[in-house]
Amino acid sequence: FCLPHRLVENLPAGEYEVRATAPGHARDVAPVTIPENQRVRQNAVLLPIVATDGVDWAAGKIRAAGVGSPPQNAENAASARAMTQRAALADGQRNLLRIIEQIRIDGGRSVGSLTAGGKVSERIQGFVKGYTVMSERQLGDGRIEVILELPLTGPSGLSRVIAE
């Protein structure tokens, strides 16, 4: 969306925060820096709230689990654990990407329709690598499960990646 010029006219230079809301859409916040005597344009994407496994609309978070199995040919227990953990993180990242691709941008398009290649796909791939590990646990059979999380909205969220 674009704020009408008259709403941002005569604001002093500085740091601002634009909050965007619409019924049926996730709220979003975008940081805006207004330089002295210059116009600023800030794009925003309000994502329609559509039930999507792995998306917590109220918290503005995307969450996915990943599970890694221990390799059979590891040299020692420490090496096996590290390899199992890396496998769990890789699985979690793939699952985050699958969830992101299902998120709707509007009535007819999903994020997946934007990721057919090019810069948007590269930005989404980079975004997914910025996950936070929320939990990690060892399963009884030696596998490791991790829960990964990414912001859906806000200054570092998926909505910023799409808006850019």
Q: Going from the first residue of the chain to its last (164 residues), give the mean pLDDT of each consecutive group of 10, the final group possibly shorter.
A: 53 84 85 83 81 92 96 87 95 96 86 76 90 95 96 90 80
C-alpha–C-alpha distance, residues 150 and 164, integer Å? 17
Write the DSSP assignment of 10-74 as a string of letters.
TPPSEEEEEEE--TTB--EEEEEEE-TT----------B----TTEETTTTEEEEEEEEPPPTT-
Which two three-digit tokens encode residue 145?
């499960």
pLDDT of residue 160: 86
In this structure, are residues 158 and 150 in contact, taking their beta carbons and an 8 Å threshold? Answer: yes
Cα 102–108–110 angle (5° rounding)? 25
pLDDT of residue 5: 45
Non-local (6+) Cβ contacts of 56 within 8 A are 62, 63, 152
| pTM for the structure as a whole | 0.82
pLDDT of residue 106: 79
pLDDT of residue 107: 73
